[in-house]
């Protein structure tokens, strides 16, 4: 289980300009839909954008606070 603020904190550590929205898919706050808008994605293909998010959330994923993620990664002008 992870709160939106804690998750957002992890994302902001590596993408300070990120706007993060979190949707709890199953009510247990560990199967989450996470949308990140940041210009860190500029010039990156989808795979690399998602890798950036996975790297930012590496700790809560490894310790099990996050079980499953559905990701959306857009730049500011794409959002």
Partner 1 sequence: MADSIEEEIQKEVNAHKILIYGKGTKTMPMCGFTRETMQFFDRYGYPYEVIDVLSQPAKRETLTKMTNWPTLPKVFINGTFYGDTDILDPMAAKGEIEPLLKKAFGK
* CA dihedral over 77, 42, 67, 58, signed as positive or negative: negative
DSSP 31: E
Least distance from partner 1 to the Cβ atom of residue 60, Å: 12
Q: Is 69 in the site for partner 1 (CB under 8 A)?
A: yes
Range in contact with partner 1 (rule: CB under 8 A) among 4-12, 14-22, 36-44, 65-73: 65-73
Binding residue for partner 1, selected from 71, 75, 76, 79, defined by CB under 8 A: 71
Q: Are 15 and 52 in contact (CB under 8 A)?
A: yes
User: Rule CB under 8 A: is residue 46 a binding residue for partner 1?
Assistant: yes
């Amino acid at each position: 289980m992870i709160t939106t603020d804690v998750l957002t904190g992890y994302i902001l550590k590596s993408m300070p300009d990120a706007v993060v929205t979190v949707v709890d898919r199953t009510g247990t706050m560990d199967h989450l839909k996470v949308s990140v808008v940041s210009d860190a994605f500029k010039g990156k293909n989808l795979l690399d954008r998602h890798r950036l998010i996975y790297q930012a959330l590496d700790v809560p994923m490894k310790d099990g606070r996050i079980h499953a993620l559905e990701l959306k990664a857009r730049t500011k002008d794409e959002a």
